[in-house]
Amino acid sequence: MGTFPRKLTTLCAVVGACSLSTVAFADNAEVSGQLRGYWIERSVADAGPLAQANRFQAGTAAIDASAATVQAELRASGSAGPLRWNATATAQVQSPEGGSTATQGWINEAYASGAALGWQWSAGKKVVSWDVGFGFRPNDVVQQEVRRTLAPETLEGRPLLMAEHFDADTAWSLVWVNPADEQANTGAKEAALAARVYRRAGAVDWHGFVRQGEHTGTSLGAAASWVASDALELHASVRAFAHADSSTTTNNGASLSTANPWRATLGDAGQQVLVGGTWTSESQVSLLVEAWHDDTALTDAQWNSWSARNQALPLWAARGVPAAAVAGNLAWQGGAFSVSKNLRQDNLFARLSWQHDRWQTALDVLYTPADQGSIATLSAIWSGEQIKVEGGLRVHGGPDSAVVRQLPVQRQGYVVATWAF
List residues near other proteins by CB under 8 A. 28, 30, 32, 75, 77, 84, 86, 113, 120, 127-132, 145, 152, 154-155, 164, 166-171, 173, 198, 200, 202-203, 205, 225, 227, 229-233, 235, 278, 280-284, 286, 355-358, 383-388, 420-421
Residues in the chain: 421
Cβ 32 to other proteins, closest distance in Å?
6
Give the C-alpha separation, 262 to 278, whole Å.
Answer: 39
Cβ 295 to other proteins, closest distance in Å?
24
Cβ 393 to other proteins, closest distance in Å?
22
Give the C-alpha separation, 221 to 380, whole Å.
Answer: 35
Beta carbon nearer to other proteins, 34 or 307: 34
Beta carbon nearer to other proteins, 347 or 353: 353
Q: Would you tell me how many other CB atoms lie within 10 Å of the CB of residue 365?
A: 15
Beta carbon nearer to other proteins, 210 or 312: 210
Cβ 226 to other proteins, closest distance in Å?
8
Cβ 303 to other proteins, closest distance in Å?
31
Cβ 126 to other proteins, closest distance in Å?
8
Beta carbon nearer to other proteins, 56 or 209: 209
Beta carbon nearer to other proteins, 173 or 347: 173
Beta carbon nearer to other proteins, 123 or 326: 123
